[in-house]
Amino acid sequence: MGPILGDRRLFSTLRYEIYANHAGISPPSRPVVQALTDVGEDYAARAFAAWPTYNDQRTSLRQRLARMLCVDSEDLGFTSNTTQGVIDIALSVAWKPGDRVVVFAGEFPANVTPWQSAAKTFSLELEMLSLEPFARSAQEGLDALERALSKGVRLVAVSAVQFQTGLRMPLEAMAALVHRYGGELFVDAVQACGIIPLNLRALAVDYLACGSHKWLMGTEGAGFVYVHPDKIAKLVPRVAGWLSHEEPVRFLLEGAGHLRYDRPIRARTDFIEGGNLPTPSLAALEASVKLLEDLTIDRIFAHTTQYLDALEPQLTALGFHSMRSTDRDLQSGSLCLRPPQHISLEALHRGLLREHIATAMPDGFLRISPHWPNAMREVPTLVQAVRDVMRTLESAP
Ligand SMILES: Cc1ncc(COP(=O)(O)O)c(C=O)c1O
């Protein structure tokens, strides 16, 4: 059975009436679970002989992801999660002491900590800007960013979509602005990739990192990095390992005389693949990406937009304050809301879980993040559950 928008049959064991936390961790579909099982069984049977199969499988996954992001597969490298991708780039930029890096307050820490470490290691200047101007309007955000860039910039690090508010950042305009000031744009895309159509070539971002267990609907343990082809030769491969060299496995497969330590490090993004990769998670990711390809990201995003369009006004009518932008270009797959002041978010979240409804509560917001299996008919159920939980909380002594 192929995937159908709004149809949960590929998630037959999911124990929630409504699962709306794809921005947290997605449930693996049956094909994803099958891929994990198949890898395990294959290694159980063939061990070392299975390795080439999954090495080839990664080639096809790389091509699928490249198609999804409108880039060349050569510009992608695999890693274990988003954070590792941020670390790989933060360690590999050819920094000069005093280089300025701009990050944002309100970002998920995965896109701050590695820059803080890089700042200490390489004597960089780190500036933290507020996201609030961007929440007011793209133009206000860009103006604030430009004021920071005018003091000099080497790199700006931002998430494509903010985890806490669901705000989609104006990446194309940000990249253009950062480039005008001679800097580079790094994007954490884990809250966007798999739900929002992304054309990296058009956006002109320089570096991007993403993990697979959220909107790509794979499992934990896999991720990837994109490096713009013009930037790869300028990186210092500080994270290189034994598999980062050209012809790294000859000494294992072709007899004597091939063990060398001087083969060049590949001038390709996959230089970050320094050791063996998370094979089961990458196979799982490919199984999920095939489903996304079948459905297309455009159709999936239209589907979740319709879901959130129906949900948002009904929750604001209950007193919630929506953080969703009114600018369509700044909307994402997440609807984030502040609950009414007299309602405890933790209690609301717990109450919804008791009703078998999974949401998230990142630092003060109720986050609702449906994906392709969520059906429109869930919307009235979700609203009624919120209403019921609120009523219980209001009547509690
Ligand atoms: C924007 C953002 N970046 C990074 C992460 C963490 O990703 P990973 O665990 O793949 O490093 C999250 C959430 O977990 C996130 O929301």
Give percent helix, percent strand, percent coil of the chain, each to the nearest 5: 45, 15, 40
Q: Each residue of 319-350: b (16+ CB within 10 Å) or e? A: ebebbbbeeeebbbbbbbbbbeeebeeeebbe
* Confidence at residue 397, expressed as pLDDT on a 0 to 100 scale: 75
Dump pLDDT digits (tens) for 264-315.
Answer: 999 999 999 999 999 999 999 999 999 999 999 999 999 999 999 999 999 9
Cα separation, 361 vs 348, whole angstroms: 10
* Residue numbers of the domain that contains 107: 33-292
Can you give the pLDDT at residue 71? Answer: 98
Mutate to test the pocket of ligand 1, among 188, 196, 334, 365 (most ligand atoms within 8 A of CB): 188
Q: How confident is the model at residue 201 (pLDDT cuts 50, 70, 90)?
A: very high
The arithmetic mean of pLDDT across residues 253-257, rounded, is: 94
Contact call for residues 170 and 205 (beta carbons, < 8 A):
no
- Using the 3D structure, point to which of 270, 292, 314 is the last residue of a domain: 292
Phi and psi dihedrals of 200, rounded to 5? Answer: -65, -30
- Express each pLDDT in 363-397 by its tens digit: 999 999 999 999 999 999 999 999 999 999 999 87
Does position 183 have pLDDT exceeding 80, yes or no? yes
Q: Give me the number of domains the chain comprises.
A: 2
Task: Kindly state if the Cβ of 219 falls inside 6 Å of ligand 1.
Answer: no
Q: Please report, for the domain that includes residue 378, its CATH number.
A: 3.90.1150.10
Whether ligand 1 lies within 6 angstroms of the CB of 206 is answered as: no
Asked if the model's pLDDT at residue 1 lies above 90, the reply is no
Q: Is the CB of 211 under 6 A from ligand 1?
A: yes
| Mutation choice for ligand 1 from 79, 163, 164, 208, CB with most ligand atoms inside 8 A | 163
Q: What integer is the mean pLDDT of 51-77?
A: 97
* Co-location of 208 and 148 in the same domain: yes
pLDDT above 80: residue 25? yes
Burial of 31 by CB count in 10 Å (0-12 exposed, 13-18 middle, 19+ buried)?
middle
Which one-letter DSSP state was computed for residue 190?
A: T
Rounded distance between C-alpha atoms, residue 334 and residue 120, angstroms: 34
Q: Are 356 and 279 in the same domain? A: no
Residue 82: pLDDT band with limits 50, 70, 90:
very high
* 134 touches 140 (CB < 8 A): yes
In the listed set 292, 322, 344, which residue is the last one of a domain according to the structure?
292
Is ligand 1 within 6 A of the CB of residue 81? Answer: yes
Question: Could you tell me if 288 and 302 lie in one domain?
Answer: no
Same-domain check for residues 272 and 376 = no
Pick from 137, 133, 173: which is nearest to 156 by CA?
Answer: 173
The four Cα atoms 131, 135, 137, 139 give a dihedral, to 10 degrees, of 10
